[in-house]
Amino acid sequence: MAGPADALAQFRRHGGRLAAAAARFSDAPRPWLDLSTGVNPRPYPLRPVPRSALARLPDPQETAAAEAAAARAFGAPADRVAAVPGGEIALRLLPRLLGARSVAIAAATYSGHAEAWRAAGVMAAADPDAAEAWVVVNPNNPDGAVTPAADILASAERRWTIVDEAFADPAPEHSVADHAKGRLVVLRSFGKFYGLPGLRLGFVVADPALVAQVRLAQGDWPIGAAAVAAARVAYADDAWAQAARARLARDARRLDAMLRAGGLTPVGGTPLFRLVHAPDATEVFLRLARAGILCRPFEDPHRLRFGLPGAPRDWGRLQAALRGDAP
C-alpha cells in the first residue's frame, strides 16, 4: 500500500474524486460524504426538464433568455454576457482569444488558470506589473481573500484583467461584473452557489466584442436544455438566493466551530468552503477518508479545505470523525 504522502497526491488537483477515494479506501463506510468541493449542499429545487426539451436542440432565443436572466442577476447588460458549458471551459478558452503574451496570476489560487495559460503557450511574467494579462480569483480559492474592486478596475485600465468570480454569489458585493467592459473580463459559475455543478453552466461577462468572439468559438449551442432552463428560473429567484446566502453564512460559522472543536484552526474561506491549518493534515485527511469523508488536501502539508455538510446526519458524521470516533 502506498505511503501517506502518495495517498494524498491524486486528491490535490481538485475536489470531487469520489471514485478514486472509494478505490483507495475500500473499507470506508458508504455512502461517502464529499466535502472536497465548495458546492452548496442544498441545491436549487430545479424541476425536471421535460423530455420534449431534451429531444431537440436548444433554440438560440432560449439561450439568449438564459443569458439575459444571468445578466440581470450580475447587474450587467445582456450583450455583455455569454453562456459557456462551465466556468472551466471559459478560463481555458480566454488565453487563446485575448492575444496576451505574458500573464500574472494573483496569489496561490486555483491551478486551472496557470494550466490554461501554459497550454496556450503564454509565459508567466517575470515582473507581474509588466504582464499583459492579470488573473485574479475573487474571492480567492482556497483562502477566500478578497481583492479590492479599485485594484481590479485600475489593472483593467492598462491590461487584460480576468476576474474569476466562481465563489462570488454568496457575497455579491465583491463582484465587478457590472463593470465588465474594455479589458475587464469576469467569469461566473452557476453550479457552486446553486448546488448543481453537473449542469456545467457558467458565463463570460465582458465587452460585447469579446462576448461575440466567445460565442463564435462555441457555435450555436453552447449549453444544453437543462442548463438553459436552470439559468432562466434560478437567476430570477431572488428570494431563494437571499435565503441561501443567509443559510450558508450560518452554516459556515457552524462548521468553523466544529472544526475548532476537532483541533483544526480555520484560517480563511468563503461561505461555501473553509480552509484550515492542521499540524497533522495528512493524518486528518486519512482519518476522515477511512470514515468515508473526503476533504481537500494541498501541497502545503498543513492545509485542508472543507465544504459544508448538508443533512443533519452529515454534520453528525463529520463531528464524530473529527473526534476520532470509530465509524
Q: Which three cell numbers stand for residue 321?
A: 470523525
Place of cell 501517506: 4
- Same structural domain for residues 27 and 56? no
Q: What pLDDT is attached to residue 7?
A: 62
- Same structural domain for residues 86 and 191? yes
Closest CA to 191 of 73, 16, 38, 25: 38
Closest CA to 288 of 273, 307, 269: 307
Chain centroid to CA 19 = 20
Helix (H, G, I), strand (E, B) or coil at 88: helix
- Same structural domain for residues 204 and 294? no
Closest CA to 237 of 90, 62, 43, 81: 43
One pLDDT digit (tens) per residue for the chain, 327 residues = 445 556 677 777 767 788 888 888 999 999 999 999 999 999 999 999 999 999 999 999 999 999 999 999 999 999 999 999 999 999 999 999 999 999 999 879 999 999 999 999 999 999 999 999 999 999 999 999 999 999 999 999 999 999 999 999 999 999 999 999 999 999 999 999 999 999 999 999 999 999 999 999 999 999 999 999 999 999 999 999 999 999 999 999 999 999 999 999 999 999 999 999 999 999 999 999 999 999 999 989 999 999 999 999 999 999 999 998 766
Place of cell 483507495: 24
- Same structural domain for residues 81 and 61? yes
- Same structural domain for residues 204 and 249? no
Cα gap 53→221, rounded to integer Å: 14
The CATH code of the domain that includes 254 is: 3.90.1150.10
- Same structural domain for residues 286 and 319? yes
- Same structural domain for residues 93 and 156? yes
Q: What pLDDT is attached to residue 2?
A: 47
The CATH code of the domain that includes 66 is: 3.40.640.10
- Same structural domain for residues 185 and 37? no
Question: In the listed set 213, 236, 259, which residue is the last one of a domain according to the structure?
Answer: 236
Question: In the listed set 173, 206, 236, which residue is the last one of a domain according to the structure?
Answer: 236
Q: What pLDDT is attached to residue 18?
A: 87
- Percent helix, strand, coil in the chain, to 5, is 45, 15, 40
- Same structural domain for residues 244 and 152? no
Q: Whole-structure pTM over 0.85, yes or no?
A: yes
Helix (H) or strand (E) holding 282: helix 281-290
- Same structural domain for residues 68 and 188? yes
Residue type for 148, please? P
Closest CA to 231 of 93, 52, 72: 72
Question: In the listed set 209, 236, 263, which residue is the last one of a domain according to the structure?
Answer: 236
Domain tally for the chain?
2
Q: Identify the domain containing residue 105 by its residue range.
A: 51-236
Do residues 212 and 94 touch, judged by C-beta distance below 8 A? no
DSSP 8-state class, residue 78 = G
Cα gap 275→280, rounded to integer Å: 14
- Same structural domain for residues 79 and 139? yes
Closest CA to 174 of 141, 150, 138: 138
Do residues 201 and 191 touch, judged by C-beta distance below 8 A? yes
Q: What pLDDT is attached to residue 12?
A: 73
State the burial class of residue 245 (Cβ atoms within 10 Å of its Cβ: 0-12, 13-18, 19+): middle
Q: Which three cell numbers stand for residue 80?
A: 455583455
Q: Which three cell numbers stand for residue 312?
A: 443533519
Do residues 275 and 265 touch, judged by C-beta distance below 8 A? no
- Same structural domain for residues 228 and 250? no
Q: Which three cell numbers stand for residue 82?
A: 455569454
